[in-house]
């Protein structure tokens, strides 16, 4: 195991005592979820940095609770942030390096979040992170659709699973994944598996799911629920990112939620 892997494992184990707790009560009715943030300085990665800021409307102050998952240390997992009226408040990332993580914000007062992942050298355009709410996330029985995921001479894509850290005690989650050929809908792969306690990125889905290299495909993920039957406070999200090979310029794919009660 790499040094980074041992460091991340130590953090998760230090937080594992939380598994005996019940899911926390909502801190407030105003929420914002950043499905993935990422920063790196390691060899083999672009020098990405995550920039985060909070603001409030009409100059009104707010207290915002932030849950990072995973955090870079146990004292950074949950924090309260005072956001003064009329100015933006910078938020430290405090997640492990080279590790996709999620950030979940809650408040009793209105607020806004802006997040981007930028190249420290200024050579690659910033990746603006989508901001979701608790109501946007998939609940058990819902499906998440996105695509196409491609790998060709011009672009390469990947996708990942994520959830707010307030639901760390409700995992593992079970999902069913269906991959279909882009444009035709032909079934290429179908399986169910369990997501453990951290967000999961599928960097090479062709290898992971036994697809022919470079086959473009669409993704359908059905959220089957928590394996342990614990209450789920928020939900699940699946995101896709495509990067232009020549410039490394990334962008998020659109994800659509189909509720369990709605037809596909």
Secondary structure E strands in 48-126? 48-55, 62-69, 78-83, 89-90, 101-107, 112-119
pLDDT tens across 197-216, in order? 899 999 999 999 999 999 99
Closest CA to 251 of 163, 158, 177, 182: 158
Q: Which residues contact 80 (CB under 8 A, 6 or more apart)?
A: 63, 64, 65, 66
pLDDT tens across 1-21, in order? 455 555 554 444 444 444 445
Query: 3-258 has which fold?
Result: Hypothetical Protein Tm1070; Chain: A (2.60.290)
β-bridge pairing 237-244 and 112-119? unpaired
Dist. CA 121–CA 104, nearest whole Å: 28
Are residues 17 and 78 in contact, defined by beta-carbon separation less than 8 angstroms?
A: no
CB-side neighbour CA atoms (13 Å) of 227: 14
| Radius of gyration of the CA atoms of the chain, in A | 18
Dist. CA 144–CA 138, nearest whole Å: 7
What is the full per-residue pLDDT of the chain (264 aa) written as tens digits?
455 555 554 444 444 444 445 666 889 999 999 999 999 876 667 889 999 999 998 889 999 999 999 999 999 999 999 999 888 999 999 999 989 999 999 999 999 999 999 999 889 999 999 999 999 999 999 999 999 999 999 999 999 999 999 999 999 999 999 999 998 999 999 999 999 889 999 999 999 999 999 999 999 999 999 999 999 999 999 999 999 999 999 999 999 999 997 655
């Amino acid at each position: 195991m790499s040094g980074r892997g041992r460091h991340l494992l130590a953090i998760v184990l230090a937080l594992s005592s939380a598994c005996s707790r019940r899911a926390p009560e909502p801190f407030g009715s105003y929420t914002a979820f950043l499905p993935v943030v990422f920063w790196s300085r390691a060899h083999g990665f672009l020098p990405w940095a995550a920039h985060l800021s909070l603001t409030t409307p009409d100059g009104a102050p707010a207290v915002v609770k932030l849950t990072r998952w995973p955090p870079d240390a146990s004292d950074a997992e949950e924090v309260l942030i005072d956001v003064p009226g009329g100015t933006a408040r910078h938020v430290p990332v405090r997640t492990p390096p080279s590790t996709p993580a999620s950030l979940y914000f809650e408040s009793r007062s209105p607020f806004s979040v802006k997040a981007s992942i930028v190249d420290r050298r200024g050579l690659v355009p910033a990746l603006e992170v989508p901001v979701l709410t608790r109501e946007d996330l998939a609940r058990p029985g819902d499906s998440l659709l996105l695509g196409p995921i491609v790998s060709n001479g011009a672009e390469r894509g990947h996708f990942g699973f994520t959830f707010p850290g307030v639901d760390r005690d409700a995992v593992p989650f079970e999902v069913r994944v269906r991959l279909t050929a882009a444009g035709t809908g032909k079934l290429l792969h179908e399986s169910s598996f369990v997501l453990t306690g951290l967000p999961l990125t599928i960097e090479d889905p062709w290898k992971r799911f036994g697809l022919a290299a470079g086959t473009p495909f669409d993704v359908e993920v059905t959220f089957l629920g928590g394996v342990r039957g614990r209450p789920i406070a928020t939900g699940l999200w699946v995101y896709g990112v495509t990067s232009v090979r020549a410039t490394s310029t990334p962008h998020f794919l659109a994800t659509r939620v189909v509720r369990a009660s709605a037809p596909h």
